[in-house]
């Protein structure tokens, strides 16, 4: 049974008039009349007795109204109370992000977001693997991505730029010296995220990297321990430069940057909790851009 046609019938039954039902529904009277006639044809029963002045329920119409009116009212109430049907964002927001974001700016973002939207519960999973959002039931992902996304099932929203710079511990530089040009990096031990194009853009082989890894936090700690010169996002090294545990190397050279992007499943209607988090994060990053470079050591 077509619920839209049933809704037309119930409106006529409750108002006793095709004209009143049309006004209630915001439809032309002719559409309501054709809809009820179509419902009668599909059921093979006359539901209404029509006269020039009055509309009344037939025996079949009265039985149909009695059995379906409460059910349709309950259905409308159930749909109206769904979390995403409310004006304010609500429900559970499942997001995933790399460990380095979870250890730096993301906790503050989540704390402020949940304070603004108390009806939203955030489930944050930190991992450096590329999560399949649709298959694993996630609402969104934050990723650093310098490449164009090929997955057509996802929407991509660029949030900002993540600058990448060179950093090393003072102990390493005291032992090996400080490079004065990019060419001198060939004489140093480098700490690089696996797959990063940095070495290739410098014309250096990947074997030039003394330490490779797939976790930026690990690479940062290796640099602080004196393992070499690390290629790190500036937001991740900021606090350690301020404390003196890391020094920015070749501060005047330009390093490749990447983008911070938000990914979420491509649907006809973006859930309010997702759009609210997207807008909130954009607002947060305007006041605290992740591309701001720490002072040189």
Residue 148 has, within 13 A of its CA and on its CB side, a CA count of 2
pLDDT, tens only, 245-290: 999 998 887 666 778 899 998 877 788 999 999 999 999 988 877 7
Query: What average pLDDT score do residues 213-233 get?
Result: 93
Pairing relationship of beta strands 120-126 and 91-97 according to DSSP bridges: parallel
**pLDDT for the residue 222:** 96
**Is the model's pLDDT at 76 over the cut of 80?**
no
pLDDT of residue 287: 81
- Considering only CA atoms, which of 148, 185, 150, 146 is closest in space to residue 168? 185
Flag the least confident range among 45-54, 116-125, 141-150, 255-264. Answer: 141-150
The pLDDT value given to residue 259: 83
CA distance 107 to 97: 11
Closest C-alpha to 47, from 34, 30, 61: 61
As a whole-number percent, the residues of the chain with pLDDT over 70 amount to 87
* pLDDT, tens digit, 9 for 90 and up, residues 82-137: 555 456 888 899 999 999 999 889 999 999 999 999 999 999 999 988 888 888 88
Confidence of residue 77 (pLDDT cuts 50, 70, 90): low
* Least confidently predicted of 68-72, 112-116, 119-123, 148-152: 148-152
Q: Please determine, for residue 242, whether its predicted confidence score (pLDDT) is greater than 90.
A: yes
- For residue 38 the two structure tokens come to 């179509």
Summarize the confidence of residues 167-192 as an average pLDDT.
Answer: 92
Residue 147's pLDDT is what?
46
Q: Which two tokens stand for residue 162?
A: 């993540």
What is the average pLDDT score of the chain?
84
| Tokens, residue 109 | 């973002």
Q: What is the pLDDT of residue 183?
A: 86
Share of the chain above pLDDT 90, in %: 34
- What's the pLDDT score for residue 125? 94
Structural domains of the chain in order of their starting residue, each with its CATH number: 3-81 (1.10.10.10), 91-159+265-287 (3.40.190.10), 164-249 (3.40.190.10)
Highest mean pLDDT among 36-50, 81-95, 162-176: 162-176
pLDDT of residue 71: 82
pLDDT at residue 18 greater than cutoff 50: yes
pTM for the whole thing?
0.63
pLDDT at res. 113: 95
């Amino acid at each position: 049974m077509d619920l839209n046609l049933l809704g037309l019938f119930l409106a006529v039954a409750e108002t006793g008039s095709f004209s009143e039902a049309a006004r209630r529904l915001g439809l032309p009277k002719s559409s309501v009349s054709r809809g009820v006639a179509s419902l009668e044809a599909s059921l093979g029963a006359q539901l209404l007795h029509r006269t020039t002045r009055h509309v009344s329920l037939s025996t079949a119409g009265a039985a149909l109204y009695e059995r379906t009116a409460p059910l349709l009212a309950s259905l409308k109430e159930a749909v109206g109370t769904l979390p995403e049907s409310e004006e304010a964002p609500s429900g559970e927001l499942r997001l995933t992000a790399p460990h380095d974001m979870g250890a730096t700016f993301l906790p503050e973002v989540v704390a402020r977001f949940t304070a603004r939207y108390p009806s939203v519960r955030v489930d944050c999973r930190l991992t450096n693997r590329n999560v399949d959002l649709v298959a694993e039931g996630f609402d969104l992902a934050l990723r650093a991505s310098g490449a164009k996304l090929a997955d057509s099932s996802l929407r991509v929203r660029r949030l900002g730029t993540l600058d990448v710079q060179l950093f090393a511990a003072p102990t390493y530089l005291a032992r090996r010296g400080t490079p004065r040009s990019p060419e001198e990096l060939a004489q140093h031990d480098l700490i690089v995220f696996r797959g990063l194009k940095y070495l290739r853009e410098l014309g250096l082989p990947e074997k030039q990297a003394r330490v490779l890894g797939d976790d930026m936090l690990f690479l940062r700690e290796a640099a602080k321990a004196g393992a070499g010169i690390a290629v790190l996002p500036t937001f991740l090294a900021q606090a350690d430069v301020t404390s003196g545990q890391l020094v920015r190397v070749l501060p005047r050279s330009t390093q490749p940057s990447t983008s911070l992007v938000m990914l979420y499943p491509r649907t006809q209607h973006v859930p309010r909790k997702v759009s609210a988090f997207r807008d909130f994060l954009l607002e947060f990053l305007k006041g605290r851009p992740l591309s701001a470079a720490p002072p040189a050591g």
